[in-house]
Structures are given as structure tokens and as C-alpha cells.
Structure 1
Amino acid sequence: MRTPTRLTRTALSTALTLALLPLASQAASSRAAEYFERVATFPVYSNLGADEEAARETVAEITAVSRDGRTLIYTDSPGERIGLVDIQDPKSPKPAGFVKLEGEPTSVAVHHHFVLVAVNTSASFARPDGVLAVFDIRNPAQPKRVATLPMGGQPDSIAISPKGRYAAVAIENERDEDLNDGLLPQLPGGFLRIVDLKGQPSRWSTRDVDLTGLAEVAPGDPEPEYVSINDQDVAAVTLQENNHIVLVDLRRGRVLRHFSAGQVDLEGVDVEENDRIQPVGVLTGKRREPDSIAWVGPLLATANEGDYEDAEGAEGGSRGFTLFDYDGKVWHDAGVSMEHAFIRAGHYPENRSENKGIEPEGIAAASFRKQDFLFVGSERGNAVAVYDVARPWAPVMHQLLPAGMGPEGILPIPARNLLVVSSEEDSAEDGYRSTISIYQYGARTANYPEIRSSESDLIPWGALSGLVADGTQIDRLYAVPDSYYKASRIFHIDTSQTPAVIDGQTELRKDGETVNYDLEGIAQASNGDFWLASEGNGKAKPNLLIHANSKGDVLAEYALPKAVSAQRTSNGFEGVSVVGEGASTRVYVAFQRGWKNDPAGKVRIGVFNPSSGEWGFVHYPLDPAVEGGWVGLSELTSIGNGQFLVIERDNQQGPAAQIKRLYRIDLNGVQPVAEGQSFPLVSKTLERDLLPDLQSTGGWVLDKVEGAAVDKLGRLFVVTDNDGVEDASGETRFMRLGTIKR
């Protein structure tokens, strides 16, 4: 598609119609759909030098690619440098070092064999400054600096025109959010700087385009945020805090058009941070306040992050994306549809409900094998929504791609059928690191999500921590979330579909009121009742076994005897299983880690007799933990005849993860004994190492392998806990691992 060169309304209307018709025709074709599949995740800290601490903060924010598509170049803001990654083999990215800069890199782009880096060298917010550093990367192992161009202010986004004639740099001159409550204006105002890419970099010239006097919010302080250029050398610039979009003719260096990004009303959103996902709220008049922008043929797509509250308290953030034409007419607005898709995939960040929800930030458009896509990244939902835009006025979600934490940069590389997403959140102390995710186009099916909730009913879910198969129905599982969410419930899962579908839920109630347990395990008795394990916190919150009927009514709660409870730590009940009927019923519960009087390297499994109220215990031998980590139990699943499967895992993630294992134990002939006696030690046999399964999708290895179930056909299912998308990527693995011998 080509953008119309004349901008009259008649010409625009005609050009839009002609430009969009081929896409509509293409969409109606019978060509089989293809999908993106993650093939690798590069932990950014692996690029650190041998003399640097591995725990040092290092991030990948914005990423570009060399002309041959074999080297990634990313901005590392806290390190004041750019990093390089060798992706000659995209399934095995390799660290390629750093290039030190004189300030904070804010964006990066590639022109022929040159890398252009926008660098913030400001002395303060009131004295903004920066440069455009240019490197020759014909030898990627030794980038050579060939030019430094003054920017006259603090640069943010940079883009190169498709024909290679111009670079455009958004000189933001960002505000100090601690000054006057961050209200605009805060001078000096920003502008757009055009770089004429003629000749050698040392001879490139620059021109400025004034953007003041256009927006209504703060006309003297435009704060340009992001820039994108089409094949007619027209730059689209977002003035995020001003809720405005400007179109600039780069050849003439003048503003062609500008318009407000407008407002949107939302119905069906979660607006309260109350530890429950309740998409029933209404937001009216929310300014879109777009962050990034991309050309989709003759249309403009914006990621509407929202980032500003003015003096009247009006906030932005419409939680979606919008497609505009040259005149600012809205051709499509995502409304709540994108956020609802994230809810269904378990990627909704409830702790951001009173802010901007999933917070769309990055956006990009590209064609892969003649199929047109729009990519929209969610900074808080930690995933990228991929839309088929063959009909740009009616985008269709094609798939959802899991990413690292805080996906910022979205880089399509169609020439190599690759998509690269850089995620900037990095905290070694909290166990998560900045990553670069690499996806390859061409898969016949979308392999994520592996579990989602129904399309017909909007069922929010997350933090799955326990799993059990129905005793009578094939293709039916049940799962429970932990204490991240209030109002404990049981989710119903249909495994006959791929992905598995959460198609119902049963809310637990005690005396007619909802309850807030820390559910870590679920089991089903032969009569259809449920037994649930609620973990204590080592203080006022006790470890409980809960007996509930199939309707969710709590029939009884069972606490540990005082002598046992006195040995408690902050890690308590995890998996639970129930065997037998009537007076022979026994409930087995796995404790996560050793308690005060447990020998080192051993953890207890409790056996409860509901008829007598008596408890007995055995010890389970744990595998040794890595230095600084721990190993514990996460699940206990009966497979009949006195045998159980046990999930044993460490608390490590990413490349540090080592122990994610499924063991089989046989309790036949093992007599549990009461507290105060020497517990018998059970033996274990490795059933399956789960680490290769967790690594198989090319992602960051997840920490919490929490639930396991074996159905009537002997099929094994294992699920991970996504921690409610807080200090975690939100990715959930729902793994189908074949059959096992019952």
C-alpha cells in the first residue's frame, strides 16, 4: 500500500478506498493462516562482561537490527550503552558486547551500515540536551563511531524513512514529574529534528520543525514522544501528554496536519484494586494519550498508554489502540476488546486496575509473506497482541505472544520471518531479568495461550496453584488460584480443546459468605466433594484442610493439632490428595518445606483421618538446593494403589532453574506416625524431569510449577502459577505430558 500524496479530503477518501481494497480481497482468500512461534529468549544480563556482577541492572528497551538481519542493537539505559546480540541463528542468540555512550540511550535505528543512537545528555530537566551518535557496524564485533550530531534538546524516539532519505528525532524535553505535580507546561518545549541522510554521517545536516501552538492541553510544551515515517516521507508524531498527533512533511520540513487523539468511553473494565478481577466498571471521557504510533498503509495506529493527569484531574489511558486516517477520523478503536483478551489469557494485572490496566505502549506494523499484521505490546500485561489487519478498519486478533516483563520495543524483521520483543524490567533481587524474545513466523498453529477462559463468558483467572482431574468425566479438570485473589473459587477446565478452556467456576462460600483462602491444592473425593489445602503464613493465618461440596459450600475446616502447628514456618500446605470412602477416607497433604523440627533436607507429608481427626506424618527426602535457593514440594497427586506423584521444585527461574521434577512415591506399607515420633522416610523414583518441558517453548523458565493431575485415561497435565502478573511475566504453562502408568 502507498499513502496518498495529496491530502485533500476527496483525494484522501479515494486513495484510502483504493489502498484498502487489495487488503480486503487478500483477507477473503483461502490461504492457510500462519503464526508466530517463540524460538528463543535472550537474558540481557548474559551480555555483561566478566568483570561485571551478574546481578547488575541491565536492560533492553528499544531494539534495532542490522541491514543483514543478523545483529540486534538495543538500548541499555541504566548502563548508558548499547548492547549487541548475534542472531545469525535466531534459535541460539549470542552475546556480542556493548558500546559505551556519554549518556542515556533513548532510541536506536539503522540506516544502511550505520547505527543511529539518540543519547540523552541533559544536565537537568530544565537544561535538556542530547546527541545523535552514529556508528559504522560493517564489522559488528567492532562498531566504529563516525559522527556525533548535536540534537539541541533531549531526544526520545528516532525513525528512518523507508527510502532512506531522512531520520526524524522526537526532541521530547520531558517534564519533571516531581515538579508542580508534573503538570505542563514545563519549558523549554520540544520539537522534531529532521536529519538529512545525504553523504557520509559527518556531513549530515539537520532541520527543526516547531510543534508548538498545535495542541490544546499545553500548546507551548508539546513533548513529542514517538515518531513513525511512511513511504511518502511523512512523519507521524505523538504528543502524548498533549493527547495530539502531528503529521510532518519531512522533505519540506513543515506540519501538514494535526489533530487531537480524542477520548473514549469504556464499559466493562476493572477500575478497583481489590484483589479481584472484576471487569464491570465504566470509564468515560478517557483521553487516549498515545505513546507509540505506526503507519498501517494509509492509516495510523496508536498504542494508547495514557501518561498524564492535568490540573483538572483528567487522566488518559484508554487501555487499547486506535486506527486514524489523515484527518484524525477514527476508523477503529479497540475499546475493551484487547484488555478482555488479556483477561481470558490470564495476563490481566489486577494491581494496575486503578491506573491504566494492561497499558498498551509499543506498536509496530509489518507484512509477513503478504499477510499484514499489527503488533501491540502491553507494558503491564507482559504480552504482545498480534492483529491481522488485512481489513485495517476491522482488525482481528490473530494471536497473543507471551513476553518478558515490561515489553517496550517491538521489532518486526520480515526479511527473516522474525519478530523481536525487548522487555525492560530487570531485578535480579526479585528473580526476573530483562529479556529479548525472538519469534519466528510460519507455525501452522498458535501454541499460546495453552489455557484460556471461554469466549462466551468473560471469566477472569490467574495464579493457578492446584490441579485435579474429575473422577468420572473425561476431559474435565479443576484448578484453584492461591491467595493472590480474594473470593476463593474452583475453576472448571475442558481439556478436549486446545488450548484448554476454563468454561466455568464455582465460588467457595462459608455460611453464605465468600471466603479468602490461600488455596494451594485441590482433590476430589469419590462422591464429588472437594478437599482443598490452604497454606498458612506462619503467623495468624493457619494451615487448613477444607472440605467442600460440589456446589462450593464449605462443609468443614480442619486445622493441625496445636503440637504440630507450633512447629510451623511461613511455608505450609501445598498439594492435597484424597483416597478411600466413608470411614476409610484419608486425606494426604504435602508441606512445601521443612518445619522447625524436621531434619535438614526432609519435608513432611501429612495423613489426615476425617473420621477420627487424627494426623500422622511421613518424611520425604528433598533434592539438594543450589546455593542461596531452596527446594520444596508443590503438588501431591494420587494415581491409585497407594502411589502418588509429587512435584518437587526449586525457587529458581530462567537459566538458574535446575530442579523442576515429578517423582513417584509408594506409601504402601508405610505407616504414618504422630508428632513427636520419628517419621518414616519414603523413597522416591523420578517419573519425569519437567525442565526440558519448561524449556521447550523457548521462553524464560518459570519458577512455580504448582499443579499436576492425571485423568481417567492416564493423561498427565501440569500447570504453572503466574503470580497474578505481579513481579512475574504472567505466562502460564499448561502442559500435556502424555500418559503415565497408574
Structure 2
Amino acid sequence: MRTPTRLTRTVLSTALSLALLPLASQAAPLRAADYFERVATFPVFRNLGADEDATRQTVAEITAVSRDGRTLIYTDSPGERIGLVDIRDPRSPQPAGFIQLEGEPTSVAVHRHYALVAVNTSLAFTQPDGVLAVFDIRNPAQPKRVATLPMGGQPDSIAISPRGRYAAVAIENERDEDLNDGLIPQLPAGFLRIVDLKGQPSRWRTRDVDLTGLAEVAPGDPEPEYVSINDQDVAAVTLQENNHIVLVDLRRGRVMRHFSAGQVDLQGVDIEENDRIEPVGVLAGKRREPDSIAWVGPLLATANEGDYEDAEGAQGGSRSFTLFDYNGHVWHEAGASLEHAFIRAGHYPESRSENKGIEPEGIAAARFRKHSLLFVGSERGNAVAVYDVARPWAPVMHQLLPTGLGPEGILPIPSRNLLVVSSEEDSAEDGYRSTLSIYQYGAKTAPYPEIRSTDRDLISWGALSGLVADRNQSDRLYAVPDSYYKASRIFSVDTSQTPALIDRQIELRKAGTSVDYDLEGIAQASNGDFWLASEGNGKARPNLLIHANARGEVLDEFALPAEVAAQQTSNGFEGVAVVGEGASTRVYVAFQREWKNDPAGRVRIGVFNPGTGEWGFIHYPLDAAAEGGWVGLSELTSIGNGQFLVIERDNQQGTAAQIKRLYRIDLNGLQPAAEGQRFPLASKRLERDLLPDLKSTGGWVLDKVEGAAVDKQGRLFVVTDNDGVEDASGETRFMRLGTVKR
């Protein structure tokens, strides 16, 4: 394609600006009641039959919706079938069964009352094959197969033109990543197959568009990845590994334009996997390598995931999204801004820093109540960013939506003011399942995040494991992260705002050097000093009580006596509380689970006298765990007069979660006993069942309810640990739960 001159580019850009003016004038500015709120999460294993093992792998990857907006249709690749979900009541989605296929479904779309499913039936990478299976879904309870169209290769993405004239299928013929280090070309070459949707499905005809010879990278092996069609019947196709975009006139069946997706220089990104989030790196000349693509008026938005490493080891993927015009000129480049937003929301996956960071993968655009919106999904950050594109050349982030693990499909349903996101990661063994998240448009405020870091500084955070209120300041809490990150810190949290704002961090230092504790609890002494609990692992890392001043300087470390430490099995210190002053100071610490010489169902609360170094213990009675799980303590909070709040939780999540409870205990009159003696037994009273609170936002019930604090006004705050977004969704609940009677 001939490169346009500067004058030509100027003329084209001016023309496009004029074309966009009507679009911008029609798009209303977002205001109150313009937010999405999650109303339900459907784990797709619920669709499994009664005769199927509920732990078998089953996923939702790409999702479509019936014409009436009442039935979701999703691809289940490992099951070689498509699943159906009844969303007549979006707050209570119901399983509606499966349709078995002859191979792996890769994509699904709906045309009128037909579901079109792209099915990969390839025998080998060198023998790609597939079909387009067409089902009549007028009766969703009994879908009827009405046509099977050969695709002549391995299909991937499928799209239907807005006017219903054409379907376009990206025939990828994907490469074998184990062959020749995954380098392309690897023939046979992919292409675009057009389906003319005229008459009955059995009479639909297909045409092919050759995509070879266009890209600079492996021009003989285009591997088309994703396709999107505008209202002019122009299909935009991404050639991800080739870092190229092609526009195809579907009516004529020919390539109109094509251009390189180009490269981008990134400033302020984390490029080292060192157990710290340090967004200070630079990536120069990073190929965008877009995965999905969507039309935003006359512009094209791409999610620049990256999927290819060349012979020199250079990887693509710019961790961003880009808006192009149809001549390939960049109108907006998100750069590192999207990743920074994920850092501020606690959704940055540090374990992917040396690879592709948050990996934007899915992208979609739609108009809700005259508002033009762009949705960008992060496969590794497990969230979808919603952008206001009233001015599509200058998108503004509007909100962030938490999802399940590995969000892949993004499905706007404007006719019902719904958005559906399918997350494909599924592992019953590890406790997380593939889900469909359903969001309703029209909330007055953004429900998420409930806690984030300030816009002023790029403060990275995650894995919050302990919480305490400032003794003197209103609206001020302190939180600590666990050992997922190195360089232990104390976060200062402003609760006068919604979401709560992490506006400062205090790095713990010992003799001037950063320290790496497994912090699980934090308490504040009357003089402003901090007491922190670091959990041991029964091996090289001991359980420690740490005394630090308000500047984060470690003043003392206190370990357990040797005869006590010898009783440890695995889980150790959790929550910590401090009462009294001077010689009457006592530090209380909760042990998570039973140790060797503890009776079953009874866990320790340690009482430490800093003046004498003596330890005593009290037993706490745990609730019974469900089969295959365990129950333990995760927080201890003083509320005065010898009374404490404890968080008691099981290690289950999602539909398996049962015990997430806040209990009140009164330790007055109990004399802690030394190791080897009989410990007194505390009594407990249920203060609050936290399970309804965890379910209230329509999400997957989180496992680790870790921190609790009661401030000067008696207000109760509870926070969850997001496990650093590794084998976890990354969602953090920061719950404001009314007042507690002291």
C-alpha cells in the first residue's frame, strides 16, 4: 500500500475530524446513573449435567446473545460444545444446557434466530479444518441444527454485519508454537471467509478473501485473529502475529486498505518480576500485535495483547489499546495509562511483568442510552475498563469492572442495558471457576473499586492482609500487605472518600535496610507506634511480633520461645492487637490454625508482655469446617474493655464458601497460661455473618477475608486479600459495615 504524504495525511485527518463531529455531538456526556453495576456471577460448571463431575473443566470463552436478549450462548472449548444460560432475570441467571459439537468451538455469533458457531475440526496444524454450525434457536430449550458450512480451514473469530447481510469468519490456521520455536511462516496460510446470509442457512454461499502478501512480518502466513464489521459492511481484521490490520469490503469481497499496527514506546512500566511492582521501566519500539478489534464510529480500537516472539526474542504486546483511522493513522494511544489504572486499583499482575503485563485482549464498543462506550478487557489483570468515547479521539476512563479469571469475551447488550463478560480460567482443584459476569447499566455511582491509590502518586498495592484504625485521627486507617510482595510497607488509607484512598505508604526498614516480612496483622499503640504480626512458615521464616515507630523504623523483633515455636505445623501469626500503656502494655496475636499440641477445633490467641518477654495463651473455639476444607482465624481487633473482634473463615471461595464470620470475644477474667499448661477457653458471640456482605455485589465470593478495623466513631471496616492477582481475580472488597457497639 502506498504510504500517504504528509499533505495527504493532513487532508485525511481533517476529513475524518469533520466526519466525527456529528458522532461527537450525538453522544451525550456521561453523568450520574451512567455506571455499570455487577448484578450476578454465573459459574458455568452449574450448566453441567447431574451425571457429570462438577469438578471437570468447563469454560465460557466467547459469548453471544439471542435476538430477544434473554439467552446467552457461550463456547466451551474443552467440552467441545456450546452452553446456554437463561438471563430473563439477569440477577438470577439459570443453566439452560449444552449443544454438543463435533470439535472445538472457537467463536459464536447470532443472526436473527440463528446461532452461528465456528468449530475447529483440524486433525493437525498442517491439516487445518472446520465448519460453521448453524442452529435455529427460536426455542432455546431445543436448538435445532439447520446447516453445516465447510470453512476450508481452522476458524477463529466470527462477526455478523450490523445490517445482517454478511458473516465474516477469520480462518486462522494457527501456528504450532512447539514447531521451530513457534516462528512463522507455518503454512497453510489463513484467509477471511465471507458468508452471504441470503435465504435459508442451507442456501448460504461463501467467498474467500486472500490476506497474503500484505504484512511485512511473514506476509505468506497472515493468521487472521479477530474480525469486526461496521455499518458500511467493512470488515476490520487483525493479523496479530503479523502486527497488521486489514480492511475488507464484504460486498465486493476484496481488500480495501491495510496497514501495520506499528510500534509504541512505553514509559513507566514494570518490566522485572522481582516480587515488587515498580513501574519505572521503559519499553522501546514494542510491536502492538493487536488481538481483538472494534469499530468506534469511523475509528478502529485495538486491544494490543501481543502473541508472538520473533527470532531475536523480541516480544510484541504494548499493554495498551489504540484508536486508528481507516488509513492507519493513530488518533489515540493509551500507552501505559491503562496499566497504571490497574496498578491504582490493585489489579496489576506482577508475575507477568517480564512478559506482557496486564495483556489487553478483549475489546468492544456500544452505545448505551446515547452514550458511546468502549470496553477494554485485561486477560491478566482480570478487569474490564470502561471508556467514555463521546469524543472517540480522546477516550476518558469512566470505571473499572472486576471480572473472573482470564476475561476473554466482552458482550454489550444495549437493548437490555446489560454487559456480559466471560472469563475462561477454570480449575476446581485450585478453587476458581470459569464465570459469566453480568452487569446492569444505570447505577448512580461506580461500585468498584472500593479502595484504590491516589492519582497524585502511582502507589502500587495488593494482597492486603491486616487493617487498623488510627487512634487519634478520624477517617484514617492503616493496612499491610502480606509476603506476596517484597519490601514490607504500611499503607495509609483515607476513608472520608469513596472509594477509600491509599494516599501514602511507609516502607518498613531495619537499621536503614528494607525488610521482607509476611505481614498478616497491624495494631497501633497509644503513642502512635505500630505492632505488626509476621507469619512464620514453620521453616526458615519465624513468627515474629514487630515493634516499629510511626516512620516505619523497626525498633524490636520478638520471636516465640523455642518450645512454643516447635509446636508449629504450618499457619502461624495472623491478626494482632495492642492494649494498655507502659508496663501494662499487652500485645495479643491470633494464630490461624491449630498447632501440634492444640486440641482439634481450638486455636491459640497469644498474649505477649513486651516488658518481661513472657508469653501466655488462650484457646479459641473454631467452627467446624466442611469436608476437605479448614477453618481458621485471620484478624484480631481490640474494641476496648477486654473485648475483641475476630474474623473466622474457611479456605473456600465461590459457591463452596460457608464460613466468613465476625465474632466478638470477651477476655476479661481469663488468665493466659504458659506453654505446657491448660489454656483457658474463650467464649464467642456472632457479631456479623460476612457471607451476605461478600455476596452483595453479585460477584464470586472471595476466599481471604483478612482485615478488620473499628475507627473512633465505631465504624467497622473489613478488607479482603486479593493474592496479588495470581491464581486469583485480583478483586479487593473494602466493606463499610456500619457501627460496632463497644
Aligned residue number for residue 650 of structure 2: 650
Q: CA deviation at 1:18?
A: 3.5
Q: CA deviation at 1:513?
A: 0.6
Q: CA deviation at 1:24?
A: 3.5
Letter in 1 for 2:232: Q
CA 1:682/1:439 → structure 2, altered by over 3 Å: closer, same or farther?
same
Q: Deviations over 1:700-722 (max 9, x none)?
A: 00000000000000000000000
| Matched residue SS, 1:693 | helix
Aligned residue number for residue 160 of structure 1: 160
Aligned residue number for residue 177 of structure 1: 177
Q: Report if aligned partners of 2:28, 2:371 keep a CA contact under 8 Å in 1.
A: no
Letter in 2 for 1:383: A
| Matched residue SS, 1:241 | coil
| Matched residue SS, 2:441 | strand
Residues in 1 aligned to 2:9 and 2:475: alpha-carbon distance in whole angstroms: 57
Letter in 2 for 1:613: G
Q: Report if aligned partners of 2:29, 2:390 keep a CA contact under 8 Å in 1.
A: no
Residues in 2 aligned to 1:666 and 1:572: alpha-carbon distance in whole angstroms: 22
Residues in 1 aligned to 2:586 and 2:125: alpha-carbon distance in whole angstroms: 67
| Matched residue SS, 1:202 | helix
Q: Report if aligned partners of 1:19, 1:297 keep a CA contact under 8 Å in 2.
A: no
Aligned residue number for residue 694 of structure 1: 694
| Matched residue SS, 2:583 | helix
Matched, 1:344 2:334: no
Q: CA deviation at 1:311?
A: 1.3
Aligned residue number for residue 306 of structure 1: 306
Letter in 1 for 2:275: D
Letter in 2 for 1:202: S
Aligned residue number for residue 75 of structure 1: 75
| Matched residue SS, 2:241 | helix
Residues in 1 aligned to 2:87 and 2:423: alpha-carbon distance in whole angstroms: 17
Q: CA deviation at 1:538?
A: 1.3
Residues in 2 aligned to 1:114 and 1:312: alpha-carbon distance in whole angstroms: 46
Letter in 1 for 2:262: G
Matches within 5 A, 1:449-488: 449-488=449-488
Residues in 2 aligned to 1:202 and 1:150: alpha-carbon distance in whole angstroms: 12
Aligned residue number for residue 55 of structure 1: 55
Matches within 5 A, 1:129-168: 129-168=129-168
Q: Report if aligned partners of 1:464, 1:481 keep a CA contact under 8 Å in 2.
A: yes
Q: Percent identity?
A: 87
Q: Report if aligned partners of 2:32, 2:443 keep a CA contact under 8 Å in 1.
A: no
Residues in 2 aligned to 1:195 and 1:15: alpha-carbon distance in whole angstroms: 32
Matched, 1:255 2:255: yes
Q: CA deviation at 1:312?
A: 2.4
| Matched residue SS, 1:652 | coil
CA 1:29/1:535 → structure 2, altered by over 3 Å: closer, same or farther?
closer
| Matched residue SS, 1:21 | helix
Q: Report if aligned partners of 1:421, 1:437 keep a CA contact under 8 Å in 2.
A: yes
| Matched residue SS, 1:484 | coil
Aligned residue number for residue 500 of structure 2: 500
Residues in 2 aligned to 1:372 and 1:145: alpha-carbon distance in whole angstroms: 36
Q: TM-score, normalised by structure 2?
A: 0.98
Aligned residue number for residue 417 of structure 1: 417
Residues in 2 aligned to 1:71 and 1:490: alpha-carbon distance in whole angstroms: 47
CA 1:366/1:27 → structure 2, altered by over 3 Å: closer, same or farther?
closer
Aligned residue number for residue 190 of structure 1: 190
Q: CA deviation at 1:13?
A: 4.6
Q: Report if aligned partners of 1:245, 1:259 keep a CA contact under 8 Å in 2.
A: yes
| Matched residue SS, 2:21 | helix
Q: Report if aligned partners of 2:466, 2:707 keep a CA contact under 8 Å in 1.
A: yes
Aligned residue number for residue 707 of structure 1: 707
Q: CA deviation at 1:237?
A: 0.1
Q: CA deviation at 1:570?
A: 1.1
Residues in 1 aligned to 2:741 and 2:28: alpha-carbon distance in whole angstroms: 48
Residues in 2 aligned to 1:555 and 1:30: alpha-carbon distance in whole angstroms: 51
| Matched residue SS, 1:19 | helix
State which drifts further: 29-38 or 411-420. 29-38
Residues in 1 aligned to 2:159 and 2:30: alpha-carbon distance in whole angstroms: 35
Residues in 2 aligned to 1:204 and 1:540: alpha-carbon distance in whole angstroms: 68
Residues in 1 aligned to 2:197 and 2:736: alpha-carbon distance in whole angstroms: 53
| Matched residue SS, 1:22 | helix
Residues in 2 aligned to 1:10 and 1:298: alpha-carbon distance in whole angstroms: 17
Q: Deviations over 1:176-195 (max 9, x none)?
A: 00000000000000000000
Letter in 1 for 2:258: H
Letter in 2 for 1:581: E
Residues in 2 aligned to 1:440 and 1:27: alpha-carbon distance in whole angstroms: 20
Residues in 2 aligned to 1:30 and 1:530: alpha-carbon distance in whole angstroms: 44
Q: Deviations over 1:575-595 (max 9, x none)?
A: 000000011000000000000
Q: Deviations over 1:413-461 (max 9, x none)?
A: 0000000000000000000000000000000100100000000100000
Q: Deviations over 1:108-144 (max 9, x none)?
A: 0000000000000000001100000000001100110
Letter in 1 for 2:237: V
Aligned residue number for residue 5 of structure 1: none
State which drifts further: 372-381 or 533-542. 533-542
CA 1:29/1:721 → structure 2, altered by over 3 Å: closer, same or farther?
closer
Q: Report if aligned partners of 1:660, 1:705 keep a CA contact under 8 Å in 2.
A: yes
Q: CA deviation at 1:507?
A: 0.2
Aligned residue number for residue 388 of structure 1: 388
Residues in 2 aligned to 1:13 and 1:501: alpha-carbon distance in whole angstroms: 41
Q: CA deviation at 1:314?
A: 2.2
Residues in 2 aligned to 1:9 and 1:669: alpha-carbon distance in whole angstroms: 82
Q: Deviations over 1:150-181 (max 9, x none)?
A: 00000000000000000000000000000000
Q: Deviations over 1:312-335 (max 9, x none)?
A: 222111001000001000000000
Q: Deviations over 1:453-486 (max 9, x none)?
A: 0001000000000000001000000000000000
Q: CA deviation at 1:305?
A: 0.1
Q: CA deviation at 1:307?
A: 0.6
Aligned residue number for residue 242 of structure 2: 242
Aligned residue number for residue 3 of structure 2: none
Q: CA deviation at 1:25?
A: 3.4
| Matched residue SS, 1:694 | helix
Residues in 2 aligned to 1:333 and 1:256: alpha-carbon distance in whole angstroms: 24
Aligned residue number for residue 437 of structure 1: 437
Aligned residue number for residue 524 of structure 1: 524
Residues in 1 aligned to 2:391 and 2:267: alpha-carbon distance in whole angstroms: 25
Q: CA deviation at 1:310?
A: 1.0
Residues in 1 aligned to 2:677 and 2:199: alpha-carbon distance in whole angstroms: 85
Q: Report if aligned partners of 2:388, 2:396 keep a CA contact under 8 Å in 1.
A: yes
Letter in 2 for 1:539: K
Letter in 2 for 1:173: N
Matched, 1:230 2:215: no
Matched, 1:371 2:371: yes
The root-mean-square deviation of aligned C-alpha atoms, in Å, is: 1.1
Aligned residue number for residue 609 of structure 1: 609
Q: CA deviation at 1:20?
A: 1.8
Residues in 1 aligned to 2:276 and 2:84: alpha-carbon distance in whole angstroms: 41
Matched, 1:112 2:73: no
Q: Report if aligned partners of 1:12, 1:326 keep a CA contact under 8 Å in 2.
A: no
| Matched residue SS, 1:536 | coil
Residues in 2 aligned to 1:10 and 1:315: alpha-carbon distance in whole angstroms: 32
CA 1:95/1:185 → structure 2, altered by over 3 Å: closer, same or farther?
same
Q: CA deviation at 1:11?
A: 8.6
Matches within 5 A, 1:554-565: 554-565=554-565
Residues in 2 aligned to 1:428 and 1:208: alpha-carbon distance in whole angstroms: 42
Q: Deviations over 1:188-235 (max 9, x none)?
A: 000000000001101000000000000011000000000000000000
Aligned residue number for residue 4 of structure 2: none
Q: Report if aligned partners of 2:619, 2:679 keep a CA contact under 8 Å in 1.
A: yes
Q: CA deviation at 1:17?
A: 2.7
Matches within 5 A, 1:17-28: 17-25=17-25
Q: Deviations over 1:343-388 (max 9, x none)?
A: 0000000000000000000000000000000000000000000000
Letter in 2 for 1:726: E
Q: TM-score, normalised by structure 1?
A: 0.98
Residues in 1 aligned to 2:593 and 2:141: alpha-carbon distance in whole angstroms: 48
Residues in 2 aligned to 1:459 and 1:529: alpha-carbon distance in whole angstroms: 23
